[in-house]
Amino acid sequence: MKTIDLRSDTVTLPNQGMLEAMQTAELGDDVIDIDPTVQKLQDRVAENLGKEAAIFMPSGTMTNQIGIRIHCQPGDEILCEDGCHIYNYEQAGFAQLSGLVARPIQGKNFQLSLSDLQGKIRADNEHMARTRLLCLENTHNRGGGSILALEAIKEMTEWAKTNGLATHLDGARLYNAVVATGIAADQWAGPFDTVSVCFSKGLGAPIGSALAGSQEAIALARRYRKLFGGAMRQAGVIASAALFGLENNVDRLEADHQNAKILADSIAQVEGLVLDPEHVETNIVIFRVDLANITAADFVEALESKGVRMLAFSPQHVRAVTHLGVSTEETGAAARIIANVAALM
């Protein structure tokens, strides 16, 4: 039986069309000069996000960390939600690489609002760190793929601007928000100074992310990309895959969202499993294991023995992510296996 891998949307593999695009990509040295395929991708991303320029990098961690770096100096402080990817899953790169400190702020259900931010900017005082940047995440990974409402974003970024703060969006799964809401990518990106988007998740590319912003910001980002080791030579090989994903795999994210709802609806009926968050908005399903003496790791191990792979997301939480590598039929099969495993534990 084929293993149904729901650990992440990063496990997707290139389809034939993407592989052909990679094989036929026009190449150049993107460090010495330019790689024409990389440039085409960067221009497309900038246009799509409504920014002046964009730059291609190997990973979303790098685009986030460079996005932070260009807005801050060592000793500065960033404001972020306490469950966000930048704070929890990037090895505190802001501290290691840029000498910054983070001020994590708890929101409601992993979502910040203007009231959460008010009063969090430090006074202009030589004894204190300088608060310089607001970072938001959309969709939110630990929040179960939840979407931060555009009106809330506008309120918070306007507050930041009024108070002299720069703004950065970790939009690794921004296109999931685009498809789920019908709101265009440039509207989501518009309120931010810099925006990071990822191609190796729902869009199915094997590698790559991009950072978009002003011409000045991206020129500085190119300098820091070199410093952080992210400058690549004939990178059109992978940029072509990212470009293919952007041109062909955005609209199909709706299928992932529908499969996630199928999975969530089934889990909601299983005794001993609790959706957390209760409502699934995009392609991430997180559920709590409330079975006596059974941890999330125990449950994940039992699932894997039956051919379904998920991630233990906390001592009692399991995460499943739908993607183009898992069909609706396989999603239904995974749902039945989850129910059977729970009944036996």
Q: What is the pLDDT of residues 221-247, one digit of tens each?
A: 999 999 999 999 999 999 999 999 999
Supply the pLDDT for residue 85. Answer: 97
Binned at pLDDT 50, 70 and 90, residue 5 comes out as very high
State whether residue 305 is helix, strand or coil: helix
| Average confidence score pLDDT of the chain | 97
Residue 116 has pLDDT above 80, yes or no: yes
Residue 55 has pLDDT above 90, yes or no: yes
In SS3 terms, 167-185 reads as EEEEECCHHHHHHHHCCCH
Mean per-residue pLDDT, 240-266: 98
Residue 341 has pLDDT above 90, yes or no: yes
Which structural domains are found in the chain, ordered by start?
Answer: 11-248 (3.40.640.10), 252-344 (3.90.1150.10)
Supply the pLDDT for residue 269. Answer: 96
Supply the pLDDT for residue 203. Answer: 98
DSSP code string of 7-68 = S-GGG----HHHHHHHHT-----TTTS--HHHHHHHHHHHHHHT-SEEEEES-HHHHHHHHH
Residue 2 has pLDDT above 90, yes or no: no
CB 238 within 8 A of CB 307: no
Torsion, Cα 40 46 49 50, to 10 degrees, reads -130
Q: What is the pLDDT of residues 277-293, one digit of tens each?
A: 999 999 999 999 999 99
Q: Angle at CA 87, nearest 5°, toward 104 and 177?
A: 95
Nearest to 203 by CA among 234, 231, 235, 172: 172
Give me the percent of the chain exceeding a pLDDT of 90.
Answer: 99
* pTM for this predicted structure: 0.96
Residue 1 has pLDDT above 80, yes or no: no
Residue 212 has pLDDT above 90, yes or no: yes
